[in-house]
Amino acid sequence: MHYIPQILFLLILLGGVGFFAKNVKSLVRNIKLGRAVNRTDRKSERLGNMVKIALGQSKMVRRPVSGILHIVVYVGFILINIEVLEIVIDGLLGTHRIFLEPLGSSIYGFLVGTFEVLALLVLVAVVIFWLRRNALKIARFWSSEMKGWPKDDANYILYFEVVLMSLFLVMNATDTGIQTAGIGNPISQFIAPWFSSLSADTLHVVERSAWWLHIVGILIFLNYLYYSKHLHILLAFPNTYFANLNPQGQFDNLESVQKEVELMMDPDADPYAAMDEDAGEPESFGASDVTDLSWVQIMNAYTCTECGRCTSSCPANETGKMLSPRAIMMKTRDRAEEVGKLLDKGEEINEDNKLLGNYITPEELWACTSCNACVEECPVNINPLSIITDMRRFMVMEESSAPQELNIMMTNIENNGAPWQYNQMDRLNWKDE
């Protein structure tokens, strides 16, 4: 009987970690649906980006109010959960605050006290976040794509944080040893009087209940991440590391097309040099589904925080066009999830239900001005423009589908060597006017 709590704790811990590992496996599989792309170059620069942007939150503070509040929640939540290590050891060994003796009351009290102050700051920040989203109704949180689950998910995570921080403070406030010694309780000492009328046994039950609910809540939160936009807590680091380091105005060229053009421009080139007997079936141009995207682009979609900074900065969206870079990422993630579920069932991918057309419309794609505002604004270096341009490339090069204005321009370039609809011999007539 003495070991029942430890056994129960071990089962809960294994269940929570095991389910999380299963979700991680599914996540990796879904990301690998994309094409291979090499992002292992310039390692020091990539590491610097990850440290500065993901860890240092450098792009978040461009909007100071939300940026500073986010840093408070981010730092507080990460540091406070250091105490999870102590909880796990206590739960497995049946001990209580095992780090108190080796660290000493001064160091241990300082650490726990710091966690309490951070817990209070997180609670304040979360309340402000909730008011900004639900009372002030800031426009970027109420776009058309932010209805149903996306809207609810944003609030659920706030409620999660309130519950977890509150349980941590209640756990400390009802711990008679901590309160009697007066260590590590700068905040909980003001909560402890709320429970002063309880007997010692009842107080112990409350403290143990808060302890159990806190660790179970953390495990639930850990597994909730996979289904939530808050997966960025984990993916922001690899996403910033593997982000595109080329200048934002630089578009990638398809190797097969570039080779053809180079041969055409070289009068001495062997026309058969472009033929490769081992090349197999030519690759498709651009992307029509998630399997045509790169694994980095799919990881971008899963990393999206749905904060809406990209959409609020998009000139096309601001002028009333259908395009929302945030919606592009959300729809890409939804399609990747759908394909993943089909694979889990052993079913084939439905070719009639693709990302292009069924999730993202041509009208959205052609509204993009390629200005890179969405890329510049994203706090974790997501690149919606790369998906947009790949899908537009597919429409033009595979389906010969483009707005009339572009078709006219491309026809003029082909026939006249210029975008304008007049003969090449007349191109310099302007100088005689």
Number of C-beta neighbours around residue 326 at 10 A: 27
What is the value of pTM for the model shown? 0.89
At 428 the pLDDT is 75
**386: helix, strand or coil:** helix
| Residue 123 identity | L
At 265 the pLDDT is 76
Number of C-beta neighbours around residue 22 at 10 A: 12
Sorted by sequence, the CB contacts under 8 Å of residue 387 that are 6+ apart come out as: 287, 293, 297, 300, 301, 328, 329, 332
Query: Length of the chain in residues, anyone?
Result: 433
Domain boundaries, the chain: 4-31+63-229, 255-275+282-416
DSSP string across 118-136: HHHHHHHHHHHHHIIIIIS
At 282 the pLDDT is 52
Angle, helix 384-397 to helix 325-344, in steps of 10 degrees = 80
Sorted by sequence, the CB contacts under 8 Å of residue 272 that are 6+ apart come out as: none
| 225 to 156, 303, 377: CA distances (angstroms) | 11, 11, 23
How buried is residue 136: exposed, middle or buried, by Cβ count under 10 Å (0-12/13-18/19+)? exposed
Distance (Å, rounded) from C-alpha 283 to C-alpha 292? 10
At 1 the pLDDT is 62
Q: Class of 255-275+282-416 per CATH?
A: mainly alpha
Distance (Å, rounded) from C-alpha 260 to C-alpha 282? 13
Per-residue pLDDT of the chain (433 residues; tens, 9 = 90+): 678 899 999 999 999 999 999 999 999 999 999 999 999 999 999 999 999 999 999 999 999 999 999 999 988 878 887 888 999 999 999 999 999 999 999 999 999 999 999 999 999 999 999 999 999 999 999 998 999 999 999 999 999 999 999 999 999 999 999 999 899 899 999 999 999 999 999 999 999 999 999 999 999 999 999 999 999 999 999 999 999 999 887 887 777 677 777 777 777 766 665 555 555 555 678 899 999 999 999 999 999 999 999 999 999 999 999 999 999 999 999 999 999 999 998 888 877 789 999 999 999 999 999 999 999 999 999 999 999 999 999 999 888 888 888 888 888 888 887 787 777 777 777 667 5
Number of C-beta neighbours around residue 376 at 10 A: 14
Distance (Å, rounded) from C-alpha 426 to C-alpha 322? 39
DSSP string across 321-351: -S--HHHHHHHHHHHHHHHHHHHHTTPPP-T
Distance (Å, rounded) from C-alpha 303 to C-alpha 242? 12
**284: helix, strand or coil:** coil
| 295 to 33, 38, 360, 402: CA distances (angstroms) | 7, 10, 19, 26
Where are the strands (E) in 212-361, listed by range? none
